[in-house]
Amino acid sequence: MFDTKIAIVLRNDMAPWQALNVTAFLTSGIVAQSPDVIGEPYRDKAGNTYNPLSIQPVIVLAADQATISNIHRRSLERDIKTCLYIEEMFSTGHDAANRAVFAQFAPEDAKVVGIAMRADKKLVDKITKGARMHP
């Protein structure tokens, strides 16, 4: 049904609140990159309207640090635009501080806790190889 796939890969050793927080941030990045992924508003039987949601399923995967680093590297090698969340961003409190701490790391030393992408299905599968469905 879809030519593309949305995948979020989370490091498998995070606390539940961290995994949920990272998922929310990464999802917002996917929507910013691809606003066409958002559908029409929802309306219930009583006539109340609700915000639109993604028209496409989102797969959430988990991986250890080594695997998530490989996924990050493969995405860069294939020039796939991704959303990235690093461990140090947990210690900041706002966007400017997040970007400042993010800028202190290169791909080789970034402690990635989450990465998200929307690209061709087969390419996403190749890039995320080694990650498993999030428990």
In this prediction, residue 43 carries a pLDDT of: 98
In this prediction, residue 1 carries a pLDDT of: 83
Domain regions of the chain by residue span: 4-133
Give 47's pLDDT tier (boundaries 50, 70, 90): very high
Mean pLDDT for 114-127 is 97
In this prediction, residue 130 carries a pLDDT of: 97
Mean pLDDT for 31-59 is 96
DSSP for 99-131 reads: HHHHTT--TTT--EEEEEEEEEHHHHHHHTTT-
Give the CATH number of domain 4-133; options: 3.40.50.720, 3.40.630.10, 3.40.1490.10, 2.60.40.10. 3.40.1490.10
pTM (predicted TM-score): 0.94
pLDDT digits (tens, 9 = 90+) for 4-36: 999 999 999 999 999 999 999 999 999 999 999
Give the 3-state DSSP-derived string for 2-49, with helices as H, strands as E and coil as C: CCEEEEEEEECCCCHHHHHHHHHHHHHHHHHHCHHHECCCEECCCCCE
pLDDT digits (tens, 9 = 90+) for 57-98: 999 999 999 999 999 999 999 999 999 999 999 999 899 999
In this prediction, residue 90 carries a pLDDT of: 96
In this prediction, residue 133 carries a pLDDT of: 95
